[in-house]
Structure 1
Amino acid sequence: MPRISRPIGVAVIGTRFGNLHAEAISEIPERARVVAICSRTEEHAQQSAERWGADLGTTSLEKVLNHPGVDAVHLCVPHHLHAPMAIAAARAGKHILTEKPIAATMDEADRMIEAAEQAGVLLMVSLNHRFLRHHQRAKALIDSGTIGEIFLCQGAFLGFSDIKGWRFDPVQTGGGVLIDSGMHRIDLLRWLVGEVVSVQAESGTYVHKQMGGEDTASMLLRFDNGAIGHLVCSWGIETPTREESLMLAGRNGTIWTENANLTLRYTIGRQPVEQEAFPEVSYPDSVKHLITHFLDCLQQDAVPVITAEDARAALRIAQAAYHAMKTGEKVIL
């Protein structure tokens, strides 16, 4: 993949979460510029194009991909659109940063990866929670052997989400809360603990009755080192503060992380618990750091810290969970 030695021309597809991507790009004009905006309506496309100084605001992906100033596309659209848009972008020679999950199905993910490889373009997925500093600190503690080999871990996404629009439709989402909000927890546990070798899962729709997919899910995981993992996520829990947490128990110590206050706590042996806070990197900041890394890969030959195969592996775990939900059986990966 040839290095790009000038500011990257970016097209942002989708104007809801896409505005965060556009904002991040606008803050580093020496590295990149928003060249085009694509949205479902001309009004939104034109408004966002004017806001971010883009040359083009349109509802046409074809016009975006034909724009000579576009080097990369950021896909901030419903899950079922990731594959067709990414494949079209790859065939047009554009690099791709897509929101998570990589796709709604494994077949779609595989076709995206194949298209990017054939075109020689970069495909990256926004698993941006890896860029939160408390998660990076957890990774460093684990990799250094400080807490010893992990034998038990837990991830949680628990809160109330006002579900609207396409998220009611499992065809568009690929499922429900697990493949959506749960995807970050799946990726983090795999990144921190290792490969998952088996999955058991249960789910239900208890609060958002209009949903075709689940609003609540629970997974039991077995990792390749023998560790046991548990992941629970729900969009239906009434709570003043959403919980997005991890617990990682090693033979020598334990780590706890919490997104709500951007903290990490850990203990070694039976020593008092130490707490560290990382307020300098908020959730929006983590997205901006990921976008900067994406640019580094294009402009400085940086090695991607999140590959398309990482995103595929996380999706495979989620899809194994959905199979387990339907059959009631353990799925071996």
Structure 2
Amino acid sequence: MLASKLMAARALVLLGCGWIARRHAAAARRLGIPLLAASRDLARARAFAREFGAADAFGAYEDAVRDPRAAGAIVCTPHDRHLRDALTALEAGLHVLVEKPIAPRLAEVDRMVGVADAAGRILMVAENFRFMPAFRHVHRLIASGRLGELRELHLVARGYRRPGGWRLDVGASGGGVLIDAGIHHVHNLRWWGGEPRRVFALAPPRTVALGGEDAVDLLAELPGGVVGFLSNSLGARGLPRVQWSTVTGTAGTSLADNRGRWVLLRGERGTRLSLFFRDTRGHLALLRAFDEAMRTGRAPEADGAAGRRDLAVVLAAYRSLAERRPVDVEC
């Protein structure tokens, strides 16, 4: 414990000790980054700290972010708390890695980004899809021209699952499947295909209790006439968790496993299968990027502006659902 009290200010404070916090804690332990665990339930924070070897545990976020050992915070709380908890960390002088979505409203994102900029602190979104080796490989295929001129992107993640807890409250979640897991695929749609100009979204009848929609089908108009399609569902009974992404160009198609294990390329130059075995979900690379951004002060790839653009697409889709018409995406 003495060593933990004398630790240089490099530790990351985990705000929230739920499921996603466990992913970040496991990555931090592998990278040798010290942790401080914080929960509004002190007993839960202590149990989490014991399990993951955190240097200390706190029952109040305000106390944790003011610990002299802390350099940054990872916000792992429900969506409606992201702004409040990110500001708590930023106002204490910490850099912030906030879980996706960055916030449920654009005005909240703007405030968060403004405070981070004024404080000279890093604000990054925990968009692990950006750092998955398989998805970075797809991006390289597109950027290198191996697929030719882009034509279509199809991103499909469908299965059956019953969420619980705060996700059943639309006030806490800000929506349903699209603003939660679906925003990962929105990010890839933007990253691979460019910024959507207009979206049209439909949702089937609900089969799973959720604060918002349990499934959504989204059609997006991308730059250059490219068409994007996203299908995301937690209410597809009878299906395994089928998750795949295809990017089709004039010279070929890439088919990626959304769990990050392989990418198949077929085109004018034949067929090639690329396999990925390390950090397939990108959590190590994500945390490494955040740690480097804190040390160097350089803006990370998945910064607050990128998180805002992801959210803008989601909110345009929700408006399309409500109004049953195509909607332009707010810049």
Query: Is 1:298 equivalent to 2:272 in the alignment?
Result: no
- 2:128 touches 2:283 (CA, 8 Å); kept in 1? yes
Q: 2:2 matched to 1:14?
A: no
Of residues 26, 30, 38, the one that matches 1:27 is 30
Post-superposition shift, 1:319?
A: 0.3
Distance across 2 between alignment mates of 1:266 and 1:7: 45
- Contact 2:147 2:252 survives alignment (8 Å): yes
| Aligned AA (1:18) | A
> Could you tell me which amino acid in structure 1 is paired with residue 188 of structure 2?
L
Q: Could you tell me which residue of structure 1 aligns to residue 215 of structure 2?
A: 216
1:317 equivalent to 2:313? Answer: yes
The residue number in structure 2 matching 1:84 is 84
Q: What are the ranges of 5 or more consecutive residues in structure 2 without an aligned counterpart?
A: 1-7
Secondary structure at the aligned position of 2:114 is classed as helix
Cα deviation code 1:19-52 (max 9, x no counterpart): 22122112222xx211x21113121111112333
Cα displacement string for residues 213-268 of structure 1 (whole angstroms, at most 9, x for unaligned residues) = 10010111001221111111001123564122211111111111112461111122
Q: Tell me, in whole angstroms, the C-alpha distance in 1 between the residues paired with 2:68 and 2:48.
A: 20
Three-state SS of the structure 2 residue aligned to 1:97 is: strand
> 1: CA distance between counterparts of 2:324 and 2:315?
14
Give runs of aligned pairs for residues 33-182 of structure 1, distance below 5 A: 33-34=34-35, 36-182=36-182
* SS of equivalent to 1:218: strand
Q: What is the rounded CA distance, in whole Å, between the counterparts of 1:9 and 1:154 in structure 2?
A: 40
Q: After TM superposition, where is structure 1 displaced by more than 4 Å over at least 4 residues in a row?
A: none
Query: SS at 1:264's partner residue?
Result: strand
- Please, what is the CA RMSD of the aligned residues? 1.7
CA contact (8 A) 2:160 2:239 kept: no
Q: Report the alpha carbon displacement of residue 126 of structure 1 after superposing the two structures with TM.
A: 1.0
Say if 1:102 and 1:312, in contact at 8 Å, map to a contact too.
yes
Are positions 1:307 and 2:303 aligned together?
yes
Code of the residue aligned with 2:310 in structure 1: it is: A
SS of the equivalent of 1:40 reads coil
Question: Taking structure 2 as the reference length, what is the TM-score of the superposition?
Answer: 0.92
Q: Which amino acid aligns with 2:143?
A: D
Residue 255 of structure 2 is matched in structure 1 by: 256
Task: Indicate conservation of the 8 Å contact 1:205/1:211, yes or no.
Answer: no
C-alpha distance in 1, partners of 2:211/2:301? Answer: 34
Partner of 1:230: 229
Match of 1:3 in 2: none
Aligned to 1:327: 323
Cα distance in 1, alignment partners of residues 272 and 27 from structure 2: 33
**Displacement after TM superposition at 1:133 (Å):** 1.4
| C-alpha distance in 2 between matches for 1:94 and 1:7 | 10
Q: Percent identical across equivalent pairs?
A: 29
SS at match of 2:157: strand
With 297-306 and 37-46 compared, the bigger mean Cα shift is at 297-306
8 A Cα contact 2:133 2:260, kept in partner? no
Q: Is the 8 A contact 1:161 1:235 kept in 2?
A: yes
Pairwise CA distance, 1:301: 4.7
Contact 1:242 1:260 in 2 (8 A): no
The correspondence for 1:273, drawn from 271, 274, 295, is: 271
- C-alpha distance in structure 1 between counterparts of 2:200 and 2:257, whole Å: 25
